[in-house]
Amino acid sequence: MAVTDAPRIVTARIDHPDSYTLERALATGAYEGLRKALTMTPEAVAAEVDAASLLGRGGAGFPAGRKWAMLRQSPVTYLVVNGDESEPATFKDHLLVERDPHQLIEGVVIAAYALQVTRAFIFLRGEFALGLERVQAALNEAYAHGAVGADIFGSGFSVDIVVHPGAGAYICGEETSLLESLEGKRGFPRIKPPFFPAAIGLYGEPTVVNNVETMSNLPWIVTNGGAAFAALGEGRSTGTRLFALAGHVRNPGVYELEMAKTTFADLINAPVLGGGVRHGRELKAFIPGGVSAPWFGPDQIDLPLGQDEVGAAGSMLGSGSVVVMDDHTCAVRASWRITKFFSRESCGQCTPCREGSGWLERIMERIETGRGRPDDLDLLLDACDNIAPGLTWPPQQTTICVLGPSIPSSIHSAITMFRDEFLTHIKEGGCPHG
Amino acid sequence: MSGHLGPDILARARQLISLYPEPRSALVPLCHLAQEQDGWLRPEAMAEIAELVGVTPAEVQGTASFYDMLHLEPVGTYLVSICTNISCMLDGGLELLEHAEEHLGVGAGGTTPDGKITLEEAECLADCDHAPCVQVNHRYVGAQTPETFDALIEDLRAGRRSDEIPSHGTLIRVRRDGGLRADPEQVASERAAMAEAKARRAAEAAEAAGGEGGS
């Protein structure tokens, strides 16, 4: 069964053309979850999120409830929402901020109440001009409606929210880098330990950092109960999740699916979802969770869309984005472009990442453009091994953050799965795909 | 160095600063505001931002130079960003960029002689179901073919899209009108309380470390 009858949790409202307005949001139940939360104790709200066992939807998949529990032992000062969606092929938060900003704001206030935080920041990717305007307009409406600000709905609880625009840097999606950026500095990741945001976060204060989609789930969880959320999905992968499908499929787009009940084959091929590989071509490979993830071949298409299942198969569900490549795709060109991305976006702090990404990109480029050398494949893998020793999954880390160890994924996958294509490029002095 | 930012921009800058526990947090938003006025980050603007948030002009420039959207050199009226990352590459993004370079007569990073268009090769813009993805001044204009791209450029040059796409630098046209922290004394006392709490915690932590015989 391709699509289960699970309810749409975070995309319930978006089919309305005016889904982003307060009027439509109120007509479709917005802020009811918040009203309910305010009648509960903060601990009870946090307990519902814990019961939902909601895994963070940003990429790392850490349980949100446990993240909060770590903080409840000492007072939290700030809540920061990560809306710096930049992992290539990921475009789900883009949808949520443009199409349902009130759901996001409601989730932020619920989280702020559970954590008893009075200052929250929504960090949005700078390139989301429309998203920034929609969230700011919704925030203005929410203040006027009494849902944000002082004495929310007469409950005595107050929180101020600030929409903060980023300025174009992939690395700011990494939470400690995001905090540096929010402090008005270059987005250099901080070393962990000691700089776990829960302990030493924004301005050195205990801080919760959660993703936009994670926040957007909270109104439904409070309204319907954590148990109802946990009843969806399977194992640790509870609830529904947004999957962004891109590449060579008939219907690219964002789909909300019950976790672990649906497979990659369903997502890619079901007529109501991806609709299959387009132009009657065959599937060559797919990337299961953003370009930091190792690739899968057609033989892995029946894997379920579950965090642990994909992890056990040697990759990750990551940011929930799936890129489909058909059999006309040049594996060298695809992995070269991904490598070029990492080379451009390395923040430059750590030598293996800063230097390694540039070396790798130049070698990949010369292979793709027909100037490859016979020992280039060994050289590539050796350089990859210097960034992520052993080329294991999950990777060993030689750098402050995970950007560096993510670089080898696409190169290692492409060489392992399509070695002949690299050899053809090198022997024949060019790309056989033209 | 004050006096470069106009009164409206300056008033909005001061309001932004008041929203953050520490003034420096407003540095990037203020850079966006300066770009709204000038289209790019002039040295005079950076010096004034430095004064406003309490850092040196070098710190503003050193921070701004890290970010792709903050421009230390002039940019055309319209910044046209073409994504060539994986999803768009699979859908002709590199070919579209090549076409754009030819059509505009400038390479990626260049500005047309009339100062209207700056072309940029972008990394993923998070709109992969409309590939190859193009943004103009960070507003999505949908997937483009070489033909529609040429028409888009013609429209931009003729000013036919100026209502929906403001000139480069204007990022957020919606002004914050709720939760304004208008009282400077309140902001100052909040900041002082925060600094005090932080110092107290640091002292407690130092004491705890000392008690454990830590170095």
Residue A434 has a pLDDT of 65
* Greatest Cα pair distance in chain B: 73
Asked if A88 lies within 8 A of B125 by C-beta distance, the reply is no
CATH: 1.10.10.10, 1.10.10.1590, 3.40.190.120, 3.40.1390.10. Which one for B1-74+169-182? 1.10.10.1590
Supply the pLDDT for residue A73.
66
Identify all chain B residues contacting A334, using CB atoms and an 8 Å cutoff. 86, 89-90
Whether A17 maps to a domain, the answer reads no
Contact B46, B175 (CB under 8 A): no
Are the C-beta atoms of A84 and A266 separated by less than 8 Å? no
pLDDT at A72: 63
Residues A260 and A341 in one domain: no
| Residue A433 lies inside a defined structural domain of this protein | no
Considering the domain architecture, whether residues A205 and A98 belong to the same structural domain is answered as yes
Q: Is A13 among the domain residues?
A: no
Q: What is the pLDDT of residue B213?
A: 45
Q: Between chains, do A137 and B174 touch, taking CB under 8 Å as contact?
A: yes
- Residue at A3 is within a domain: no
> Same domain, yes or no, for A190 and A298?
no
Angle at A157 between CA A152 and CA A160, to 5 degrees: 70
Q: Given an 8 Å threshold on Cβ–Cβ distance, is A88 in contact with B87?
A: yes
Domain boundaries, chain B: 1-74+169-182, 78-157, 183-215
Could you tell me which chain B residue has the CA closest to the CA of A184? Answer: B25
Question: Does B6 score more than 90 pLDDT?
Answer: yes
What are the structure tokens assigned to A103, written together?
A: 């759901």
Q: Would the CB atoms of B178 and A142 count as touching at under 8 Å?
A: yes
Answer whether A186 touches B (CB < 8 Å). yes
CATH code of A198's domain: 3.40.50.11540
Q: Are residues A105 and A209 in the same domain?
A: yes
Instruction: Report which DSSP code applies to B84.
Output: -
In a domain, A360, yes or no: yes
A103 and A57 both lie in a single domain: yes
Report yes or no: B161 at the A interface, CB cutoff 8 Å: no
pLDDT of residue A93: 97
pLDDT computed for residue B1 by the predictor: 58
A140/B contact by beta carbon, under 8 A = yes
Please indicate, yes or no, whether residues A297 and A183 belong to a single structural domain of this protein: no
CATH number, domain of A336, equals: 1.20.1440.230
Give me the CATH topology for the region B78-157: Glutaredoxin (3.40.30)
Residue A73 makes CB contacts below 8 A (sequence gap 6+) with none
A111 falls within a domain:
yes
Point out the domain boundary residue: A184, A210, A230.
A230
Closest chain B residue to A130, measured at CA: B139
Contacting residues of B for A341, CB less than 8 Å apart: 85-86, 123-124
Q: Which residues of chain A make contact with B179, given a CB cutoff of 8 A? A: 139, 143, 148-149, 160-162
Question: Between A185 and B195, where is the model more confident?
Answer: A185
ipTM of the complex: 0.96
Q: Do B124 and A160 touch (CB under 8 A)?
A: no
The verdict on whether omega for the bond into residue A193 sits within 30 degrees of 0, i.e. cis, is: yes
Secondary structure (3-state) at A296:
strand
Chain B: residue whose CA lies nearest to A162: B19
Cβ distance of A321 and B66 shorter than 8 Å = no
Q: Which domain holds residue A348?
A: 331-428
pLDDT higher than 80, residue B210: no
Residues A215 and A318 in one domain: no
What does the alpha-carbon distance between residue A156 and residue A111 come to, in Å, rounded to a whole number? 16
List the one residue out of A167, A168, A171, A151 whose CA is nearest residue A159.
Answer: A151
At B38 the pLDDT is 98
Greater confidence (A15 vs B214) lies with: A15
Same structural domain for residues A249 and A265?
yes
Q: Which chain A residues have a beta carbon less than 8 Å from that of B171?
A: 126, 129, 132, 165
Q: For residues A343 and A422, state if they share a domain.
A: yes
CA distance to partner chain A, nearest, from residue B154 (Å): 23
Chain B's closest residue to A204, CA to CA, is B198
B205 shares contact with chain A (CB less than 8 Å): no
Using the Cβ of A170 and the Cβ atoms of chain B, whether some distance falls under 8 Å is answered with: yes
Residues 174-203, chain B: which have Cβ within 8 Å of A? 174-179, 181, 194, 198
How many angstroms separate the CA atoms of A181 and A192, rounded? 17
State which of A204, A230, A256 marks the end of a domain.
Answer: A230
Q: Do A337 and B194 touch (CB under 8 A)?
A: no
Q: Do A184 and B172 touch (CB under 8 A)?
A: no
**Count of the separate structural domains present in chain A:** 3
Confidence band for B214, pLDDT divided at 50, 70 and 90: very low
Asked if A133 lies within 8 A of B24 by C-beta distance, the reply is no
CA A221, CA A229: separation in Å to the nearest integer? 6
End-to-end Cα distance, chain B: 45
Compute the distance between CA of residue A149 and CA of residue A348 in angstroms, rounded to an integer.
39
Same domain, A257 and A336: no
Yes or no, beta carbons of B123 and A341 under 8 Å apart: yes
Q: Which amino acid is at B28?
A: V
List the single best residue of B15, B17, B18, B25 to mutate versus A (max A Cβ within 10 A): B25
| Chain mean position to CA B22 | 19
Among positive and negative, which fits the CA dihedral B185, B189, B190, B192? Answer: positive
CA distance A358 to A59: 25
The pLDDT-based confidence of B215 (bands split at 50, 70, 90) is very low
pLDDT at B175: 97
Q: B138 at the A interface (CB within 8 A)?
A: yes
Yes or no: say if A49 and A64 are a contact pair by the CB < 8 Å rule. Answer: yes
Contacts of A87 in chain B (CB under 8 A): 124
Compare all CA atoms of chain A with the CA of B130 and give the residue at the minimum distance: A252
Specify whether A226 is located in the same domain as A243: no
Q: For each successive 10 residues of chain A (434 residues), what is the average pLDDT? A: 81 97 98 98 95 88 80 81 96 98 98 96 98 98 98 98 98 97 98 93 95 97 97 92 97 95 96 97 97 97 94 94 97 98 97 97 97 96 97 94 96 97 95 76
* A to B CB pairs, distance under 8 Å: 185
Contact yes or no for A242/A320 (Cβ under 8 A): yes
- Closest in A182, A186, A248 to B90, CB measured: A248
CA gap A327, A283 in Å, rounded = 6
So what's the pLDDT on residue A65? 80
Burial status of residue A16 (CB atoms within 10 A of its CB: 0-12, 13-18, 19 or more)? middle
CB proximity B19 to A under 8 Å:
yes
Q: Find out whether B87 and B124 touch, Cβ atoms under 8 Å.
A: yes
Task: Name the band, by pLDDT with cuts 50, 70 and 90, for residue B200.
Answer: confident
Predicted local confidence at residue A360, as pLDDT: 98
Q: Smallest Cβ distance to A88: which of B31, B123, B171?
A: B123
Q: Are residues A292 and A396 in the same domain?
A: no
In-domain check, residue A144: yes
Q: What is the pLDDT of residues B28-53, one digit of tens each?
A: 999 999 999 999 999 999 999 999 99
**DSSP per-residue letters across B179-202:** S----HHHHHHHHHHHHHHHHHHH
